[in-house]
Amino acid sequence: MTGLNIVVCGSIVPDPLQSLIPVSNPDGPGLKNEMMLPHVLDPWAGHALYEAANLARQMNGKVYLVSLGPKAKLQQTMMTIAQKAPFELVAVDGPSSGFTDSAMVATALAEAIRTITGLDLSKTLIFGGWESASRASGTTMQMVGEKLGIVDQFQGVDEIKMNTDGSFQVLERIEGGKHQVSLCAGAPAVLGWATGNLPEPPNNPQIGMVNMRTVMPAIQRAQTKNVKDASLTFVSVEVPAQRRETKIVKDKSAAEIAQEIITWLKEG
């Protein structure tokens, strides 16, 4: 099988390694100095993109990256992402923080996918992050699939293996540190990726130059989408409280130390 299309839903998010301080704004909760924070491609979506690029190279296919975020931040972030893998960008202008409704995010992504010229969904795999550094509801990709009429869905994916007849085998995470092996007859299907098996590819300026020819026009054409539900309210938003209690002990076995930690956790 050749010519497989892969659409990756990969939004940009404020860098999770920064101090993200929630604040209340006139239009609802947000992050302090959000537009000043450095942004990155969502880490889970990054795995999906790298796996998609690898699969497209094997199958002589094409990768589309559908990304939701503020135009200015999309432009900055894509200068780095564009050097990682070949793709065609489909940009959607919208907020990047997590204070949004996953159903409305899914609707915006599904609408953007439907605007891709010449895309045959019957020959397309939809990739995305199983979770998210910003919108970690774990439901967005499922709803994207439903809105596109795709019922074959796999979440927590670590591996995909294509067969010559177009079918593929999927390795999904399940409880107890185990994997479930599934066989799908073929596209279309939705795959929510966990960590996959591929490392982050090195920067390739040549790939970046090719991608940027279409990235900038795509960002300029990006339509603004409201992904905040007016009926969704937040009673309060705050950074989780930190608790640190240090005690220095000697001459205790590992089992005794472990038991003491368990007791401390139960009491907390």
Count CB atoms within 10 A of the CB of residue 233.
8
Count CB atoms within 10 A of the CB of residue 5.
23
CATH of the domain at 190: 3.40.50.620
Count CB atoms within 10 A of the CB of residue 146.
14
pLDDT of residue 2: 57
pLDDT of residue 104: 87
Residue 242 lies in a domain: no
Residue 195 lies in a domain: yes
Q: Which domain holds residue 146?
A: 5-224
Residue ranges of alpha helices (H) inside the chain are: 43-59, 71-81, 102-114, 140-147, 205-221, 254-267
Taking 70 as the threshold, does the pLDDT of residue 74 lie above it?
Answer: yes
Count CB atoms within 10 A of the CB of residue 180.
12
pLDDT level of residue 248 (50, 70, 90 thresholds): confident
Average pLDDT on 131-142 reads: 77
Residue 265 lies in a domain: no
Q: Which residues contact 256 (CB under 8 A, 6 or more apart)?
A: none
Residue 75 lies in a domain: yes
pLDDT level of residue 110 (50, 70, 90 thresholds): very high
Provide the 8-state DSSP code for 92: E
pLDDT of residue 117: 92
Number of helices (H), then strands (E), belonging to the chain: the values are: 6, 13
Q: Which residues of 88-102 are buried (b: 16+ CB within 10 A; e: fewer)?
A: bbbbbbbbbbbbbbb
CA distance 65 to 82: 10
pLDDT of residue 238: 67
pLDDT level of residue 38 (50, 70, 90 thresholds): confident
Taking 70 as the threshold, does the pLDDT of residue 268 lie above it?
Answer: no
Residue 244 lies in a domain: no
**Across 30-34, 83-87, 239-243, least confident range:** 239-243
Residue 248 lies in a domain: no
| Rg of the chain in Å (alpha carbons) | 21
Q: What is the greatest pairwise CA distance in the chain?
A: 70
Q: What angle do CA 27, 28, 33 make, to 5 degrees?
A: 90
pLDDT level of residue 135 (50, 70, 90 thresholds): low
pLDDT level of residue 237 (50, 70, 90 thresholds): low
Could you give the number of structural domains in the chain? Answer: 1
Residue 23 lies in a domain: yes
